[in-house]
Amino acid sequence: MQTIELTKTLLQESKNKIVDILKRRYSSNLNKDLSQAVNELNEQGFSVMPNFLNELECNEIIAWINEVTQTNNEIWRDALDSDNRIYFSDKANKHINSFFNHELISKILSSYEKTDKYNGFTLANKVTYKENNQGSGGGWHRDYVKRKQTKAILYLNNVESSTGPFQYLKGSHQFGSILKYQKDYGFKYNQYRFTNSEIDEIIKQDPLILKEFTGAAGMLLLVDTRGIHRGKPIEGGVRYALTNYYWFNSSIPSHIKQLDPFK
């Protein structure tokens, strides 16, 4: 049975290679820093840029998020009311719209994705402590297993280990890693959700693979969420963040469009 699962994965990656050759074309003259960010995405699945946004703009966006979460009944909330998500927030806030359309981010991610054709939006996120919360995203997962899936995450307040930082398994976005986990841990083809015990076993074998991103307000993370990741369950306080979602050479899925609270 596992041989069949591995064969499916190999066939899918072959399709990806063909798509890259036939449909994905992008050339740009990136400076040294931007090229380094692309290389980091390729090698480890993430790139970090401190001080991307200033504190004043972060605080203005936080105030807007607080207002919307208190007044708009159409926003998405998890069962515990811990994770509050304002989808398509770039439509309703000028600062968030500027973040979604930031040229530096689009240059880096277009170079990584090998195309500058994309659709997307910004998710504004407020996570507060509730007992037994699963963290932002509901636990360990991949966003999309079949091919790369890039996001830009911006911390709006200081994030410590206790306030729900983004966590990522370094290199888990790579095809070789996906195959290895299928062989070593029995993961299925296109498996995108994982238990804590499954991930604990991976980390036990390689403790350095776990990357936890704490940082000051204004820190930017560029990530390939094909890799295994989560928002760590929050132990106290509150975490505010923006996340740019992108679909390169594709459209926004219809079930996600339905989450727009401003339509």
C-alpha span between 120 and 26 (Å, rounded)? 19
Mean pLDDT of 231-242: 97
Q: Would you state the pLDDT for residue 243? A: 98
pLDDT on residue 1: 61
Q: Which tokens sit at 93?
A: 């806030």
CA 51/CA 156 separation, integer angstroms: 11
Domain count, the chain: 1
Tell me if 135 is assigned to some domain.
Answer: yes
Residue 181 phi, psi dihedral angles, 5° rounding: -70, -30
Predicted local distance difference test score (pLDDT) of residue 27:
67
How high does pLDDT run on average in the chain?
93
CA atoms of 206 and 201, how far apart (whole Å): 9
Specify whether the CB–CB gap between 69 and 82 falls below 8 A: no
Which pLDDT does position 234 carry in this prediction?
97
What is the pLDDT at residue 108?
96
Q: What is the pLDDT of residue 13?
A: 74
Domain at 150, CATH number: 2.60.120.620
Task: Judge whether 262 lies within some domain.
Answer: no
Q: How confident is the model at residue 228 (pLDDT cuts 50, 70, 90)?
A: very high
Q: Which of 57-66, 89-98, 183-192 has the lowest mean pLDDT?
A: 183-192
| Span of 4-18, 113-127, 166-180, 197-211 with lowest mean pLDDT | 4-18
Q: pTM for the whole thing?
A: 0.93
131-146 residue pLDDT tens? 999 999 999 999 988 8
Residue 263 lies in a domain: no
Q: For residue range 98-113, what is the model confidence (pLDDT) as tens digits?
A: 999 999 999 999 999 9
**C-alpha dihedral (184, 190, 191, 192), degrees to nearest 10:** 130
Phi, psi of 12 (to 5 degrees): -65, -40
**230 within 8 A of 137, measured Cβ to Cβ:** yes
pLDDT tens track for 16-57: 777 777 667 776 778 888 999 999 999 999 999 999 999 999
Residue 10 has pLDDT above 90, yes or no: no
Taken in order 205, 48, 25, 90, the sign of the CA dihedral is positive
Range of the domain at 118: 2-257
